[in-house]
């Protein structure tokens, strides 16, 4: 599917709008990932049991992977 913002009568303005829109979308994606990380850090700081539970799950997953590779 074509992006209609990439096409304009003079071939100039539409392309600039599309490039700006793509940059804004990329920036929003990066900002969203950053904010998700910050939210997770705050959640763990407020609930240390969650950190312990996640560490335990990670250890169990790693152990299962190692055991399956040894069989």
What residue segments make up the domains of the chain, in order of their start? 4-70
HEC states along 1-23? Answer: CCCHHHCCCCCCHHHHHHHHHHH
12-25 per-position pLDDT tens digit: 555 567 677 788 88
Please indicate, yes or no, whether the overall pTM of this predicted structure exceeds 0.75: no
Proportion of the chain above pLDDT 70, given as a percent? 75
Question: Could you give the 3-state DSSP secondary structure of residue 47?
Answer: coil
pLDDT of residue 2: 53
Higher pLDDT, 35 or 12: 35
Residue 54 has pLDDT above 80, yes or no: yes
């Amino acid at each position: 599917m074509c992006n209609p913002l990439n096409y304009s009568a003079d071939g100039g303005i539409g392309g600039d709008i599309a490039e700006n829109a793509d940059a804004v979308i990329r920036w929003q994606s990066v900002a969203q990932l950053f904010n998700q990380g910050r939210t997770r850090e705050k959640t763990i700081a407020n609930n240390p049991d969650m950190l312990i539970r996640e560490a335990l799950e990670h250890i169990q997953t790693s152990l299962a992977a190692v055991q399956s590779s040894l069989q």
